[in-house]
Every structure is written in structure tokens, then in C-alpha cells.
A and B are shown apart, each in its own frame.
Chain A
Amino acid sequence: MNGADALVKCLTEEGVDTVFGYPGVAICPFYNSILDSDIRTVLIRTEQNAAHAASGMARMTGKPGVCAVTSGPGATNVITGIATAFADSIPLVCITGQVSTNLIGCDVFQEADITGAVESFVKYSYLVKDVNDIPRIVKEAFHIANTGRKGPVLIDVPIDVQNATIRNFKYPEEVKLRTYKPTVKGNMAQIKKVLAEFSKAKKPIICAGGGVLLSEAQFEIRKFAEKYNIPVVSTMMGIGVMPTEHPMYFGMVGNNGKPYANKAMNESDLLIMVGARVADRAVNQPDLITKGKVLVHIDVDPAEIGKNVGPHIPIVGDCKSIFEDINGSEFECNDFKAWIDELNTYKKDLAVVRKPNPKYVDPAAFIDMLSKNMKDDAVYVADVGQNQIWSCSYHIVKDGRFMTSGGMGTMGYSIPAAMGVKCACPDKQVVAVCGDGAFQMSMCELATMRQHDINVKIIVLTNNYLGMVREYQHYTYKDAYSVVDLSGNPDLEKLSSAYDMKFLRLKDMKDAEKVIKEFLKKDESALLECLIDPMDTVK
């Protein structure tokens, strides 16, 4: 057994069933060994997307997504995907091939110091120098990636290590990391303090972030909200913690969120931030969320607590475990009826009124209609740009999931991530919604979808601009548009036919429902292009 066989064996032991990647000589031993396993390999068309696909998979399975690429350019190409996962705390294990150990540092062909380069985007990284370390390192990598605040871990494996013979392979039962021991259980005394605040509160609210979904705490939080009538808002990464139309859900907060959600958060007297970073896009005035209220911050990462705002009651630990403890405790509180009524009034009064141009598809009405026609447990992956903001505002999550690149805002994320989701859950309906700019960053993956029968539904909102940046230039530079015009766009109908993909186009809202139904009907990949008003804005 050689190092490459050992790597594959470790992945099998971890229950990995799919590896996304792109080969080159330096990772060939690994891709040779994988032939003898049951692991499915997906040849993605550019390495960045291997990490995005692994990210989509991880978000569905709750286990680290795996990608494997070659040294040098393969490794550097994957960096954006790793950074994207890091920003959203998505667990990944990325394996990179490396030049032979004795050549490291000599600037030989396709050598890149990848562990150095990704230092600031990974939870941890390894350069494997001894083949006998492989089992321990892989075990640790999976453990580090998926515990505490989750994130990507990179394992760089020189080709000679992959080819070296390993003495008696044994996959460790448990990790022995002397240093790394994240806190899971919340401090009970702190939890009691929170419950005491609940008993006093008149206007409590929960603001849920992506950490809730990462720890699968959404069901505990729903239970809590329903039992005591506690309203919930979410950050962009927390969309889907509550079904959109849940009577206790009051929308997404932040610059691009619902005005009534922000108002609800500001008016509350007890704010529980859970699994949320209190980051600039969600909370642009940190003092507002502490003024006249008690702020509780629950997060698994102690460094997030107090980073942007000092909470009155911090609790470090896993969101799910903490809400289990909360749900398991008895306490008295008000009925919050007046508060909920107040919030429902805000919801009515502060609803955004759009004036859609009837000559085009209205993204708001379209996304609303699309959601209503999607399966209850469908997964919606939004890209970045105006389309992302519209998706956040108008997609209705029922029993499914909503995903997007929130922290990094990486264009091109939606299609590969949706592919990862579909690979993880082949029975689910998976829809990727992107702009015409981002689509062209990822359209190489249409081939991957065709080759591996990954049936993702793609929606392109065509405005022939890098819409979000155009909108910014419209407001900031008084319409002095610079480098945002996308003329030169391909004809998507011809493009789809080149990949044997079903194609539909919507020019306005007239036939929208019929076309959407046709688009979603079968479990097959399809592309739906919607022509939207190039001058439309999200603000």
C-alpha cells in the first residue's frame, strides 16, 4: 500500500462518497488509487469550482466536502473556493498534489507554496512529509474542519509521499490533538442568565445567522420560537432557519435586508444573536443593537463574541446544544402578543413597493412565483449581485434550504455549489439563480453537469450588465458606467443546445407561470433565461 492508497482508504473510512477535482501529474497517484475505491469522482472544469461544489455538498450533508487538485496552478486556482468556504465557515478538506519533497523550495515546474498561500483562508493546513503520517493527518483534518467553528483544511501531499510505501496502515479511531478542543456545551450559568432576561423581556427577538444551519440548530430554534411566541429575524447566511412564511419570522436584516426586520431588531429589548458574526453587512451600526436592550451573543467561536460589539451576556458553544439546554429549561415569560402585533404593523407599513417595468420580467415577482412552484424541500442557490439581493428578498423558503456566498460574495458560486448539493441529494430539486455576469464565470460547468448527469436547474437573470456594480456607479458616479457593460454575451439558447440542455426564455411576466412549470417539470438539467430591466435597482 502506498501513500495514495492510504489517502483514498482514509477518505473511505470517513464515509466520503464524492471527490470533486481536476488532475495533474502531481495528484495522479491519488487519482489512480481512487479507481480501486467506491468513491465517485467528478471532473469539474476549473479548480475553484471544485471547492464550491464541495461546499454545496458539505452544506447539505453536514460533513466536510472533499476536493483534490494538482500542484502549482491547480492549487492556486482552488484558493478562491477555499477563501469562499472559509468566509462562510463551511467545512472542506482540500487535497493538493505537490512536487517531490526533495524539490520543494527549488522553484521547479508547477511548484507553489500552497500551504503558505492559503494560510489566512484555512483553519489549518498540512504539508505531508512522511507517508506514515497520512492516517493521522487525514483524521485530524476531518475533525478540525467539522468541529468548533467549521472551515476548510488543506492537505498538501508531495508526489513522492503519495508513491512511498506505508508500513501497516491503521486509521485512528479518535484524534489526539493536544491543543485543539473547541467548546460545545454552553455554560449553564450563562444560559440561566438569558432565561432570566426572557422572563423580564417585553420585546425579545432572535437574530439567527449561518452558524445555526451549520450546527443544525434550526429545529430547536423553531421549537423555542413557537413555544414562547418569540419573533426571529435572520442574517443573509441565516435565511432558511425559519420558513419564510412562518408567523414568527420577520425577514432578513442588514443593508440589503427588509426595513421591518431592521426595525424589529432595533426596537427589541432583548436581542439574541445566535451563530451570527455581527458583521458589517448585517449590522452597520453596532451601537444600535446594544442601545436600550440586553444583547446576548451565542457563538461557537469565542473570538466572534465581542469582536464587533460587546454583548451583555456572551455564551460560547454549539448553537444546537445551547438551544437544547434552553428548550429543556422551564421559565415564565410574557406572552409577547403586543410585540408581535407591533412587528406585524411594521411589516405592513414598511413593505417595499417596487415599480416593475412591464416590458421585462420583474425579478421580484418572478422569484416569488418560482418559489411557489418549487418543491417544498427544494434547494435554492443564489449567486452574487443584484440577483442575490432579490433572491434573499423574494425567495420563499418552505422546507428546503437557501444558500449563497455571504461572507466573500464570490461570483460564480451558485452553479458549482448547486451541483455539489445535487450530488449530495440527487432526489432534491436544486435551482441555481445567477446574473449573466456570474453565469459566464461558471458556464464551463455545463459540461460537467452533462457528463455526470447532475441535473441542476439554472436561471440566468440577464440584464447585460454587471448589475450590482452598474447600480453602484449609477448612484455614486451619476451613471458614468465603467467596465460593466456585458455586450458580447453569448446566445444562451445556442449555448444550451451545444450542451444538449433544455432551454427556455422569458421576456416578460405574461407566460411566466407556464414557463416556470415547464422548466421545473422533470428532473433534468435546464436553463431558463429571464430578460430583466437593465436599469432595475435593488434599492
Chain B
Amino acid sequence: MKKKVFQLLVDNTPGVLSRISGLFTRRGYNIESITAGQTADPKYTRITIVTSGEDDVLIQIRKQVEKLVDVRDVKELKPDDSVFSELALIKVRADISSRQNVISLSEIFKATIEDVSPESLIIEMTGSSQKIDAFLALLEGYEILELARTGIAGLGRGIENVTFLD
């Protein structure tokens, strides 16, 4: 199984997201994460999908996605030529005795503390998924009460492969 990141530019029509996620469900493709948001031009939405599968499946995924009427452009974002980022909010159980340790760990990872309550902290962190995974691994000794991850958003580097839409 290989992992791939696809970036889609789609017409911002009603139901477009469900058409895309529906295609993945229906054909049994994996979605590891999916993020969507308007582009600079509100007519379009940019969607980043992280998926995995064997080579032939990944080829099919791309072709089937390209076939959807609303899809304007599909690109594979290769890790070496792309910038990926994810945001995670992590609520950790921490009282006075453990709070400082958690804060120190967060500083190492350039994560910020967004909320402090007597028994817990909320840490916000952005970066690559691997970095977030590594941070979560470090927090193993603490109880994670709640975790919210956005899944990655990505862009290709440089200007060569920017898609200009009319």
C-alpha cells in the first residue's frame, strides 16, 4: 500500500464534497484525510485528499475523480515538491504538578497553549503530520482527553504547476 496526496480544484457547486466522498465510499477507496476550503476565487474549492492503495487502485482513483463533472483539476502532490501542513488541537489532562512539563514539551515543538483550566490544557500545533505524530508519541505518559486533527492541506512548491483557471 502506498500513500498519495491528491489536490483537487472543483467547482463550488452544492453537494460537491459529498459527490467526491461518495465516490470513495462507493468504490471502496481509502480516505485517510480530506480537507476542503474556498480558493482565492470563490467559484472554486480546493480539496486535499490523502489516500492509500496499491498502484492500480491509485491510478483508478485519479481517473474516477477526474471523471466527476465538477472536478476541474487533479494533481498529485509529491512530498518532495510540496508543502503539507496540518493543524491539531490536543486537550491533555494536566494539573499544577504536571502542567509545566507539558508546556515545556510543547515549546520544543513550537506548539502553543490555547487554553488552561485547573485540570487540563489545550495545545495547538501546526506542521507536518509526522511532526504531530511525533509530538503525540511524546505525550504518551499523559492522558489525552480530546484530539482534533484537520488532516493535511497542501500546495505544490513554486509557480510551474499552478493551475490558472478562467
- Check if A119 is an interface residue, CB within 8 A of chain B: yes
In contact, B165 and A178 (Cβ under 8 angstroms): yes
Q: Which of A167-189 contact B (CB under 8 A)?
A: 177-180
Give the residue of B14, B22, B70 whose beta carbon is less than 8 angstroms from that of A127: B14
Q: Mark A113-126, 1 if CB is under 8 A from B, else 0.
A: 00110011001100
CB neighbours (8 Å) of A115 from chain B are 15
In contact, B26 and A120 (Cβ under 8 angstroms): yes
In contact, A303 and B63 (Cβ under 8 angstroms): yes
CB neighbours (8 Å) of B60 from chain A are 303, 306-307
In contact, A179 and B71 (Cβ under 8 angstroms): yes
How far is it, in angstroms, between the C-alpha of A123 and the C-alpha of B14 when the chains are bound?
16
Q: Which of A287-310 contact B (CB under 8 A)?
A: 301-303, 306-307, 310
CB neighbours (8 Å) of B67 from chain A are 301-303
A408 CB, min distance to chain B CBs, angstroms = 15
How far is it, in angstroms, between the C-alpha of A115 and the C-alpha of B22 when the chains are bound?
13
CB neighbours (8 Å) of A178 from chain B are 11, 72, 165-166
- Check if B131 is an interface residue, CB within 8 A of chain A: no
In contact, A124 and B69 (Cβ under 8 angstroms): yes
- Check if A144 is an interface residue, CB within 8 A of chain B: yes
How far is it, in angstroms, between the C-alpha of A116 and the C-alpha of B26 when the chains are bound?
13
Interface centre among A119, A303, A306 (most CB of B within 10 A): A303
- Check if B66 is an interface residue, CB within 8 A of chain A: yes
How many residue pairs, one in A and one in B, have C-beta atoms under 8 Å apart? 39
- Check if B64 is an interface residue, CB within 8 A of chain A: yes
B31 CB, min distance to chain A CBs, angstroms = 16
Q: Which of B16-73 contact A (CB under 8 A)?
A: 18-19, 22, 26, 56, 59-60, 63-64, 66-67, 69-72
How far is it, in angstroms, between the C-alpha of A310 and the C-alpha of B57 when the chains are bound?
12
CB neighbours (8 Å) of A119 from chain B are 18-19, 22
CB neighbours (8 Å) of A180 from chain B are 69
In contact, A179 and B69 (Cβ under 8 angstroms): yes
Interface size on B, as a range, is 20 to 34
How far is it, in angstroms, between the C-alpha of A124 and the C-alpha of B14 when the chains are bound?
12
A521 CB, min distance to chain B CBs, angstroms = 48
In contact, A302 and B66 (Cβ under 8 angstroms): yes
Q: Mark A306-325, 1 if CB is under 8 A from B, else 0.
A: 11001000000000000000
B25 and chain A: residue at smallest CB distance: A120
How far is it, in angstroms, between the C-alpha of A178 and the C-alpha of B72 when the chains are bound?
7
In contact, B69 and A306 (Cβ under 8 angstroms): no
In contact, A303 and B64 (Cβ under 8 angstroms): yes
In contact, A306 and B56 (Cβ under 8 angstroms): yes
In contact, A179 and B14 (Cβ under 8 angstroms): no
A125 and chain B: residue at smallest CB distance: B15
CB neighbours (8 Å) of A306 from chain B are 56, 59-60, 63
Give the residue of A116, A124, A302 whose beta carbon is less than 8 angstroms from that of B63: A302
A149 and chain B: residue at smallest CB distance: B67
Q: Which of B142-166 contact A (CB under 8 A)?
A: 165-166
How far is it, in angstroms, between the C-alpha of A123 and the C-alpha of B63 when the chains are bound?
15
In contact, B69 and A177 (Cβ under 8 angstroms): yes
Q: Mark B58-94, 1 if CB is under 8 A from A, else 0.
A: 0110011011011110000000000000000000000
In contact, B69 and A144 (Cβ under 8 angstroms): yes
Q: Which of A319-348 contact B (CB under 8 A)?
A: none
How far is it, in angstroms, between the C-alpha of A310 and the C-alpha of B22 when the chains are bound?
26
CB neighbours (8 Å) of B22 from chain A are 119-120
How far is it, in angstroms, between the C-alpha of A307 and the C-alpha of B58 when the chains are bound?
11
How far is it, in angstroms, between the C-alpha of A115 and the C-alpha of B18 when the chains are bound?
11
How far is it, in angstroms, between the C-alpha of A115 and the C-alpha of B19 when the chains are bound?
11
CB neighbours (8 Å) of B11 from chain A are 178-179
CB neighbours (8 Å) of A301 from chain B are 67
A375 CB, min distance to chain B CBs, angstroms = 40
How far is it, in angstroms, between the C-alpha of A303 and the C-alpha of B57 when the chains are bound?
11
B56 CB, min distance to chain A CBs, angstroms = 7
A302 and chain B: residue at smallest CB distance: B63
A305 and chain B: residue at smallest CB distance: B63
Give the residue of A120, A123, A302 whose beta carbon is less than 8 angstroms from that of B69: A123
CB neighbours (8 Å) of A124 from chain B are 69
How far is it, in angstroms, between the C-alpha of A302 and the C-alpha of B74 when the chains are bound?
14
How far is it, in angstroms, between the C-alpha of A127 and the C-alpha of B18 when the chains are bound?
14
Give the residue of B15, B63, B70 whose beta carbon is less than 8 angstroms from that of A179: B70
A304 and chain B: residue at smallest CB distance: B63
How far is it, in angstroms, between the C-alpha of A120 and the C-alpha of B10 when the chains are bound?
19
CB neighbours (8 Å) of B26 from chain A are 120
A246 CB, min distance to chain B CBs, angstroms = 34
How far is it, in angstroms, between the C-alpha of A302 and the C-alpha of B61 when the chains are bound?
12
A71 CB, min distance to chain B CBs, angstroms = 18
B105 CB, min distance to chain A CBs, angstroms = 45
CB neighbours (8 Å) of B64 from chain A are 303
How far is it, in angstroms, between the C-alpha of A310 and the C-alpha of B54 when the chains are bound?
14
How far is it, in angstroms, between the C-alpha of A302 and the C-alpha of B10 when the chains are bound?
19
B15 and chain A: residue at smallest CB distance: A115
B64 and chain A: residue at smallest CB distance: A303
CB neighbours (8 Å) of B72 from chain A are 178-179
CB neighbours (8 Å) of B166 from chain A are 178
How far is it, in angstroms, between the C-alpha of A3 and the C-alpha of B56 when the chains are bound?
46
A115 and chain B: residue at smallest CB distance: B15
CB neighbours (8 Å) of B165 from chain A are 178
Interface centre among A115, A116, A179, A306 (most CB of B within 10 A): A179
How far is it, in angstroms, between the C-alpha of A122 and the C-alpha of B65 when the chains are bound?
15
CB neighbours (8 Å) of B70 from chain A are 179
How far is it, in angstroms, between the C-alpha of A307 and the C-alpha of B63 when the chains are bound?
10
B23 and chain A: residue at smallest CB distance: A120
Query: What 8 A-B pairs have minimum CB-CB distances, sorted nearest first?
Result: A303-B63, A179-B72, A124-B69, A180-B69, A120-B26, A303-B64, A302-B63, A119-B22
Interface contacts beyond A179-B71, A302-B67: sample of 17 additional A-B pairs, CB < 8 Å, sorted by A: A116-B18, A120-B22, A120-B26, A124-B69, A127-B14, A177-B69, A178-B166, A179-B10, A179-B11, A179-B70, A179-B72, A301-B67, A302-B66, A303-B60, A303-B66, A306-B63, A307-B60
- Residue pairs across A and B with Cβ atoms less than 8 A apart, 30 shown, are A115-B15, A119-B19, A119-B22, A120-B22, A120-B26, A123-B69, A124-B69, A127-B14, A127-B15, A144-B69, A177-B69, A178-B72, A178-B165, A178-B166, A179-B11, A179-B69, A179-B70, A179-B71, A179-B72, A180-B69, A301-B67, A302-B66, A302-B67, A303-B60, A303-B63, A303-B67, A306-B56, A306-B60, A306-B63, A307-B60
